[in-house]
Amino acid sequence: MNPSYDWGPVPPKLPRGAIAEVTEVLLPIHLWRAPVTKVVAQGLSTVERFVIEAALDLGDITVTDVAEVTGLPPELAARITERVAAVGVLAPIPGTEAPPAGPAYQPVSPAAEQAIAKAALHEFHRSHLTFMYLPRTDELLAFEGGEGGLGAPLVHRLASAYHAPMPAGVAGANSAEFLNARISAGVVLGLPDWVHAAEPDESRLPETCPAYRCRGHLKADRGAVLKLVDANKPQRTQQIGFAKVAAGLSGWLASLAGSLDGAFAGWGTPSLSPQSLTPDGGAWSFSLTDELARAVLDADLPLTRPLGLSIRDEEAVLSVGVRLMPDDDGARAMFALDRAVGVVLAVPLEQLHTAALAAAMAAAMTDYDVAPTTDEVRSELWRRRQFFRLYALRATDDFAYD
């Protein structure tokens, strides 16, 4: 869907460094807790390294072999060998007799080679982790929590706006398979390095998930800075930290904020691209022709002051600042007229007299190298229904009886 646009006479009030106001975003969020396998690395001892290397060289090894070569008591040699086997580096050979030498063990490939290469044994434990899926940008985030960690949003404390459908291929998928595919691809944002895999279970992703209202702003250096808004009580909000991690979310909003080509379609100009994003508060700059400048004036919008432009699609409304510039001599005359009228309108009515017209002409000439005539200024004041100001400016002419 192409965005739609609404012009306003005042630009949005943005915090320092912001480029757009996020008036509203409808953000579907699926949040759940899942069992995962946690891997813990323990450094290899000298004896453990010997056991693994001997098994790799000889093809198999027994506790008796370990005790004889190392001089360790058989009980200690057995515990060390069993520990190496317990983490999946060695495997007992079926059919070997336990007494008196104990079972024979053979190396498990590639676990044995990896243990030697990394000088560590990896133990696996069951744990749990919170995951969040953002259907709009197909992003998956993990939240470990704890001190200094990114916490999951407390969405259960806020009312959602509606339920949104999950994407095809995601809705109804096995949760563990979905997670493991993303973990293997390395695309889970914020995933702790201790996660080995999601543990198999029978749970499935839902067909729909709640969508929450959000608002905030976009910063050039930090992306989206958003807070969740309660759908029933808008004064209840919750700051969300995951927007700093979810680059796709910030990218989508930034792309929408910059989709301004059709902003002038309502005035018969299907496409007009902005020239630049100025550093002073995120104002886009457009150059207007004579005809387009006249159309903006006829819409009762100023040419010479910053404007606000709202960009809307089905899921978001953003607002940016816009500055207009003349592109030809005819447009420059329109801008000069707006500048002159602006000077007149800035003078208190009780202080308004014909000298204000001279000041208005001078201001227009200074800014645009052209000045409108007195009649043009008066006609524009009449069009804007500024009748009392017009009467004040004409008083000297209309009531000059001497």
Q: Are 296 and 258 in contact (CB under 8 A)?
A: no
Give the residue, 316 or 359, on which the prediction is more confident: 316
pLDDT at position 162 over 90: yes
At 217 the pLDDT is 94
User: What is the arithmetic mean of pLDDT over 80-95?
Assistant: 81
pLDDT band at 115 (very low <50, low <70, confident <90, very high): confident
User: What is the arithmetic mean of pLDDT over 260-280?
Assistant: 80
Sign (positive or negative) of CA dihedral 134, 139, 140, 141: negative
pLDDT band at 276 (very low <50, low <70, confident <90, very high): low
Would you state the structure tokens that stand for residue 237, as one six-digit string?
């909000």
Note the pLDDT tens digit of each residue in 321-358: 999 999 999 999 999 999 999 999 988 888 887 788 88
Helices (H) and strands (E) in the chain, counts: 11, 17
pLDDT at position 401 over 50: no
CA distance 153 to 25: 16
Nearest Cα residue to 223 out of 29, 20, 11, 26? 20
Torsion of CA 254, 256, 258, 263, to 10 degrees: -160
Note the pLDDT tens digit of each residue in 26-37: 999 999 999 998
Note the pLDDT tens digit of each residue in 307-320: 999 999 999 999 99
Give the residue, 75 or 302, on which the prediction is more confident: 302
At 143 the pLDDT is 92
**Considering the chain, what is the average pLDDT of its residues?**
87
What residue has token string 């040419």? 303
Residue 121, Cβ density class (10 Å: 0-12 exposed, 13-18 middle, ≥19 buried): buried
**Contacts for 73 with CB less than 8 Å, ≥ 6 apart:** 67
pLDDT band at 66 (very low <50, low <70, confident <90, very high): confident
Helix (H) or strand (E) run with residue 299 in it: none
Residue at 301: amino acid letter: L
Helix (H) or strand (E) run with residue 374 in it: helix 374-383
pLDDT at position 270 over 80: yes
Give the residue, 38 or 396, on which the prediction is more confident: 38
For a pLDDT cut of 90, what percent of the chain falls above it? 48
Residue 180, Cβ density class (10 Å: 0-12 exposed, 13-18 middle, ≥19 buried): middle
pLDDT band at 97 (very low <50, low <70, confident <90, very high): low
CA distance 346 to 274: 29
